[in-house]
Chain A
């Protein structure tokens, strides 16, 4: 079975621009969560998608938004990029909403805002 795939692996954007990050969930997993990991910090929960709807959200402003598609893949969109948005963005998929069987993480997208 394939794991969680994220793209791109790295990208550089200018402050004020918009970015879209992509995640393909593990086969059979219907729930996707996104996390932001700033340098030297632990991952922080951004939001979770289940059945194409946002199910829960962390302490992130509305310029962070997402989508989930019928095949359970997901996108994270960030508008009006700020320097502090520079981080590793991790996607995690799970078999159910509660993560009862655990989470599978992707390798992440390293975003640098200059």
Chain B
């Protein structure tokens, strides 16, 4: 079945540091890929998405590129801020599927 593996946290960075959170997936067909963010006490918010190979999703300075050859969708940001502190989830939705399959999440803490 579908599965998502993302790097385990927690990740602690200083403000303005470069961020990478690795995500790889296993799926049949051509899934859509997502990054969601969860701030303390809140639900999930869509950060970015990509629906086909080589697509780059981007939002709020975050980027991720859908790499079919390596089955990866790594999240990057060039300069993190304290306000980026949250849990980040990589997720996929199979081509003919109706559900999201999530990774375990990565806690990011950014210190001033």
Contact = CB atoms under 8 A, between A and B. Distances in A.
B42 interface: yes
B104 A42 contact: yes
Interface stretch (A11-19, A62-70, A102-110): A102-110
Contacts of B102: 42-44
A110 to B, nearest CB: 9
A43 B36 CA distance: 11
Contact of B100 (A41, A45, A55): A45
The SS class assigned to the A binding surface is loop
A53 to B, nearest CB: 13
Contact of B98 (A41, A56, A90, A107): A56
Nearest to B99: A45
Contacts of B98: 33, 48, 55-56, 97-99
Interface size class of A (residues with CB under 8 A): 20 to 34
A40 interface: yes
23 contacts: A33-B98, A33-B99, A40-B105, A42-B89, A42-B91, A42-B102, A42-B103, A42-B104, A43-B100, A45-B100, A48-B98, A48-B99, A90-B43, A90-B44, A92-B44, A92-B100, A98-B98, A99-B93, A99-B98, A102-B46, A102-B49, A105-B44, A107-B43
Contacts of A97: 98
A41 B104 contact: yes
B25 to A, nearest CB: 13
Contact of A106 (B43, B46, B89): B43
Given A42-B89, A45-B99, A105 B105 contact: no
Looking at A43, A90, A97, the one whose CB has the most chain B CB atoms below 10 A away is A43
B34 to A, nearest CB: 9
